[in-house]
Structure formats: structure tokens, C-alpha cells
């Protein structure tokens, strides 16, 4: 196995004055280089927290995250900032700068590093073409559809030529047709660039359509891990069996709402 991302005994607790909520309770997960791995779980299972611990937007309490040979959890701030350039992230809410054009939004990660203007222009033009919005470079976010905004977000996440792409519920705010087009783009990027993609979602169809492998997060730990077809055909965990039932019910009856809250 060409292992690339390795998560070991990862724990994360959120504390307030009144409550102590243990979200991740010792997550162990291995992801191969070039994989598109979907992480699915019920609402509140800690999916987004796990993704944000991978690039340390959230600081884990304990455990380790390796990307390649680098232990992300051991890095000092300066070294962490350098390694983060190799980890692109796509957000559900797009996180675009409304006062900047599409080109400036994509260029921003490069500009703050002081990359030469000619190189920035070349990179931005190439990314606009890659994500299929070449004609939208001078537009502002308010002039774009949701799908176009997410394509800008994807292009920005790719600006630093990362090795890993984290997608945190990137399609959950989009309609089904737009979701399909964005997933097609992610699959194309995976094939063309060889990126390892960690795809966080609560949408069963997203996992089935876009991912090569998947992991089920339940009660703060990985309940099941394997190929998508393997788990969908014969789940071994209680959560996996629930997801399979919901998926089958949705396929039989598209108006079925039993997947809400997942």
C-alpha cells in the first residue's frame, strides 16, 4: 500500500465554562497517495473537526498526523505555514473575498508569499482554464452562481500546487446538478494532477459517485474503512448498515428524507 496520509490516535476536545465535549476519541486512518477518500458520519460526528486537524486549523489534543514523511502535529508555526501550502482546502461557504475579482481571489495565496507577478498571472490563467471559468476572471463573487463560486474556491485551493486537497462539505450548499459538475471537476483534478483528496461529506450520493475509498466516523472513532463498493455492498459497522439502508431507500424513493441530519 502506497500510504500517504497517516492519522494516529487523534483526539480533540472542545471545552467551555460549562461543558467538555470530546469530539475525536482516538482516530486512526491511513490514506493512499492519489486516493479520493470520503469521510462520512452522522451530524456532529466530528468530520469537519477531523479535516481541520489534518492541517491544524484546529489543534488536536494528542495524536499524530503524517503527510508523507512529515509529522504535521510536531511542526512549529513557521514550518507549519510552509507545509500548509501543500494542503489545499475547499470550504462549504466558499470563503471568497467579495471585494476582489475572481482572478485576485485565486491569486491571493501566491501574492501574500511574494510570488512574481508574471508567475502569478500564468498560474491564475491556467487554473481558470482547469476549473472551467476562464471567462469569469474579471467578475466579482456576487456576480457568480454557487457552482462558479465553488470552482473559484477550488482554483484558489490549487494555487500553491498542493499534494493534498481537503474538501469540507464543499457541495452541501449546491443543487444536485451543480454538485455533480463539481464532483466531476474534483475527479478530473485527481486524475490529471494525482492529488490525494480527503472529501468530508454527509451526502451518500457524493461518496458513491466521487470516492474510491471511504471511512465511517462514529462516536469519535473510525467505525469502518474500506472501498466504497465493498462497504456499500456489505457494511460491517452499525453506522454503515444505517447508511446503506438510507442510501437504498433514497434510490427507491428520491423524495425520501431519511438522510437528513446525516
Confidence of residue 168 (pLDDT cuts 50, 70, 90): very high
> Helices in 92-166 by DSSP H: which ranges?
102-111, 117-130, 146-157
Residue 225: its pLDDT value, please? 96
Interatomic CA distance for residues 55 and 75, integer angstroms: 11
Residue 255: its pLDDT value, please? 57
CA distances from 198 to 7, 100, 242 (A): 12, 28, 22
Residue 1: its pLDDT value, please? 60
Residue 43: its pLDDT value, please? 82
Residue 190: its pLDDT value, please? 95
**pLDDT, tens digit, for every residue of 127-138?**
999 999 999 999
Domain ranges of the chain: 3-86+162-252
Query: In the chain, count of helices (H) and strands (E)?
Result: 9, 10
**pLDDT, tens digit, for every residue of 24-80?**
999 999 999 999 999 998 888 899 999 999 999 999 999 999 999 999 999 999 999
Residue 172: its pLDDT value, please? 86
Please answer whether residues 130 and 189 qualify as being in contact, where contact means their C-beta atoms are separated by less than 8 angstroms. Answer: yes
Confidence of residue 258 (pLDDT cuts 50, 70, 90): very low
Residue 261: its pLDDT value, please? 41
Lowest mean pLDDT among 101-105, 170-174, 206-210: 170-174
**Judging by beta carbons within 10 Å of its beta carbon (0-12, 13-18, 19+), is residue 132 exposed, middle or buried?**
middle
Please answer whether residues 215 and 10 qualify as being in contact, where contact means their C-beta atoms are separated by less than 8 angstroms. Answer: no
Confidence of residue 149 (pLDDT cuts 50, 70, 90): very high
CATH class of residue range 3-86+162-252: alpha beta
CA distances from 236 to 215, 224, 232, 241, 243 (A): 12, 7, 10, 7, 11
Q: What is the pTM of this model?
A: 0.91
Residue 250: its pLDDT value, please? 73
Percent of the chain predicted with pLDDT > 70 = 96
Amino acid at each position: 500500500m502506497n500510504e500517504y496520509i497517516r492519522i494516529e490516535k487523534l483526539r480533540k476536545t472542545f471545552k467551555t465554562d460549562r461543558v467538555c465535549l470530546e469530539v475525536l476519541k482516538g482516530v486512526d486512518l491511513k490514506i493512499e497517495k492519489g486516493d479520493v477518500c470520503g469521510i462520512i458520519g452522522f451530524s456532529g460526528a466530528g468530520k469537519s473537526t477531523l479535516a481541520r486537524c489534518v492541517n491544524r486549523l484546529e489543534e488536536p489534543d494528542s495524536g499524530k498526523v503524517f503527510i508523507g514523511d512529515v509529522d504535521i502535529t510536531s511542526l512549529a508555526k513557521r514550518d507549519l505555514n510552509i507545509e500548509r501550502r501543500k494542503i489545499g482546502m475547499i470550504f462549504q461557504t466558499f470563503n471568497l473575498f467579495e471585494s476582489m475579482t475572481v482572478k485576485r481571489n485565486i491569486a491571493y495565496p501566491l501574492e501574500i508569499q511574494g510570488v512574481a507577478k508574471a508567475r502569478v498571472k500564468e498560474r491564475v490563467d491556467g487554473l481558470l482554464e482547469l476549473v472551467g471559468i476562464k471567462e469569469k476572471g474579471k467578475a466579482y463573487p456576487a456576480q457568480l452562481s454557487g457552482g462558479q463560486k465553488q470552482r473559484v474556491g477550488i482554483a484558489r485551493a490549487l494555487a500553491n500546487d498542493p499534494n493534498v486537497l481537503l474538501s469540507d462539505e464543499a457541495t452541501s450548499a449546491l443543487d444536485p446538478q451543480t454538485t455533480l459538475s463539481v464532483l466531476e471537476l474534483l475527479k478530473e483534478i485527481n486524475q490529471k494532477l494525482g492529488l490525494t483528496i480527503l472529501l468530508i461529506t454527509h451526502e451518500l450520493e457524493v461518496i458513491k459517485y466521487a470516492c474510491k475509498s471511504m471511512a465511517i466516523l462514529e462516536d469519535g472513532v473510525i467505525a469502518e474503512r474500506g472501498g466504497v463498493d465493498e462497504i456499500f455492498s456489505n457494511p460491517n459497522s452499525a453506522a454503515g448498515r444505517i447508511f446503506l439502508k438510507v442510501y437504498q431507500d433514497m434510490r427507491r424513493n428520491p423524495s425520501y428524507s431519511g438522510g437528513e441530519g446525516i
